[in-house]
Structure 1
Amino acid sequence: MARALAEAGTIRAGGRALEYRRAGPPPGDAPTLLLLHEGLGCVAMWRDFPERLAEATGCAVVAYSRAGYGRSDPCDLPRPLTYMHEEGEDVLPKVLDAIGADEVVLVGHSDGASIAIVHAGAHADARVKGLVLMAPHVFTEEMGLASIAAARAAFETTDLREKLAKYHGANVDCAFRGWNGAWLDPGFRDWNIEGYLGNIRVPVLVLQGEDDQYGTCAQVDAIARQSGSPVETVMLPACGHAPFKERPERTLAETARFVARVLQPRAAPMNTARRGQG
């Protein structure tokens, strides 16, 4: 019998030790929501969102830090421009094996949302029942690249490095330069994962801030138009790139509602788009 996943520790996936934190019951005792962080994120940067999400849904909630982030093993630099493809296709299946989840909704933010798309489009993984995508990107946009260039200037000239080091420790340069260097590589302008969308076979919820500095509603429109499964979109006014921090109550409510629906599917789901005040 598989051993229950402890509340915190490390798992091995992709040849590296990855830190994780669990809220709610262990995977196997309840469906699991697996949190996939952004390009500068890690376990600690989810703050209290895992605990609140577990309380709102009754699910196991597991957050992990990818290699090169938080207290996970470092990664090699420079990151390949296909790093999100590799995370979604090769590493994420091993993470799911390691945590012992057999019924999963992937909850991804930014890069994490893109990794969730890659996984769902590359694998007919029966464990995955749905995707919650916060601020996803499926192609590059000039305004997003400009914001990433501004982040590099801030990292080099302000206290941004010190702030990130509180979360990433010795991985701070690996985390920032691995993400920033890949996105600002001239070859990354051709990065595109739209080809995965048509193979998605599970329901999708997209949460997008109207004031997101890294991506526009063109990302949302592409996902809704090309996905092989129903897509529900929620546009959040007065919200930037991090719905779970900037609009936590609305994000929790929408995610809990979606999770309840996909784990107990209704007869006729439909593509919908909604705009809210939360």
Structure 2
Amino acid sequence: MSLSSIQRIFLQSIAAGDPEGHFVDVDNIQTYYKIAIPQHHQIRLQNQQPLPYEPHKPVILCLHHFLGNQYTWKFLMQPLAEATGCHVIAYDRVAFGFTERPDQWEEGKNPYTQSASVEFAIQLLIQLGYGTKKVVLIGCSTGSAISCSIAIRYPDLVHSLILIGPSLRPDDQGPPPVARHILGSSPGRLFLKAILYRYLPLTTLYHDVRSMREWETVVKPCYRVPLTLPNFYDSVSWLIKYFIPFEILPNKQMLHQFPILYITGDDDKYLHVDKHKEIFDEMIEGAPENAILEHHVIENCGHLTQDEKPQETLDLIIDFLRRLDV
């Protein structure tokens, strides 16, 4: 049996404890995902009735941050589905969570590049049957960069963008080239293993973890689960090495056609709130008068607002989408 097959079986066995999680093959990579659907849709499915045909309804796709996983959307998915009537999808990006981590690939098909991350998200939607739907993209940190890259590359597919603590400049999306080379080497992986095993999840991404419900019993363990999974440190190293950031802001004119909600915490230690304001101002520069571009700051909150202030984050998203008639 190949290593890939052993890894798949192991991941399936570990993830089996959560009945809400599922696997699907995307570009020959076993991908872990969850879907939240409105309660009235669930009832129809239980009664073996077809779902209503709602061509105007987009699908909502959530893309988590670096070193995160789909768990980060736990408190948003079902309430968002109920409030909007949309199906809400979250998945573990390659290298994270329970998604398979390839240790070899064909030339030109490196799954750890940002370009591959964009194509992967599109293929996931197609595999799940949402290929004809417009997409509301909710991205956190580097997930926001992928969301914007999808909008730039596939504008006809995108409905709107919701960016949480977005990392949109190359310098904010990862280490500089020299550090990428070092961390992408064998010694670099040993360093990553030592640091991540000790410090993951990074408390600096929050305003105050003591105020978060179930931090020690749920949140922290959910972020630490991948530490025990096959190829975790290798895949993180490969991602750092190959995930060369796209230029988002130089393509800002292409983003102006989409409604954009930009959410930050006032105590974002990863990217200061003033820096976010500067980036947002640069993003909206030259936008037409009718463009819908909003920036909101959540008080007493760090980089991951969906973790630390889920209700405030949810309220902003729902209000934004309702004003877009979703």
TM-score range, shorter chain: 0.7 to 0.9
Shift of 1:238: 2.1
**2 CA distance for matches of 1:57 and 1:142?**
32
Partner of 2:155, secondary structure, is coil
Partner of 1:220, secondary structure, is helix
Q: TM-score, normalization: structure 1?
A: 0.74
Contact 2:142 2:166 survives alignment (8 Å): yes
**2 CA distance for matches of 1:159 and 1:33?**
31
Q: Does 1:231 align with 2:293?
A: yes
* Residue in structure 2 matching 1:195, options 234, 250, 275: 250
Change (3 A) 1:241 1:131: same
Shift of 1:245: 1.3
Bigger drift between 174-183 and 43-52 goes to 174-183
Amino acid at match of 1:23: A
Contact 1:117 1:196 survives alignment (8 Å): no
Partner of 1:105, secondary structure, is strand
* Residue in structure 2 matching 1:10, options 13, 19, 23: 23
**2 CA distance for matches of 1:152 and 1:234?**
34
* Residue in structure 2 matching 1:248, options 310, 318, 324: 310
Amino acid at match of 2:129: G
Which residue of structure 1 aligns with residue 198 of structure 2? 158
Q: Matches of residues 47-196 of structure 1 in structure 2 within 5 Å?
A: 47-76=74-103, 83-88=113-118, 90-101=119-130, 102-125=133-156, 127-141=157-171, 155=195, 158-160=198-200, 164-167=223-226, 169-174=229-234, 176-181=236-241, 192-196=247-251
Contact 2:32 2:99 survives alignment (8 Å): yes
Shift of 1:191: 5.9
How many residues were matched structurally?
Answer: 250
Q: TM-score, normalization: structure 2?
A: 0.64
**1 CA distance for matches of 2:248 and 2:112?**
10
Amino acid at match of 2:29: R
**2 CA distance for matches of 1:91 and 1:81?**
8
Contact 1:130 1:262 survives alignment (8 Å): no
Based on CA coordinates, which of the two structures has the bigger radius of gyration?
A: 2
Shift of 1:100: 2.2
**Of Structure 1 and Structure 2, which has the larger fraction of its residues in strand?**
1
* Residue in structure 1 matching 2:66, options 28, 36, 39: 39
**2 CA distance for matches of 1:195 and 1:86?**
20
**1 CA distance for matches of 2:155 and 2:246?**
23
Structure 1 unaligned runs (5+)? 1-5, 265-278
Shift of 1:227: 5.9
Kindly report the root-mean-square deviation, in angstroms, between the aligned alpha carbons of the 2 structures.
3.6
Which residue of structure 1 aligns with residue 263 of structure 2? 207
Amino acid at match of 1:118: S
Aligned-pair identity (%): 24
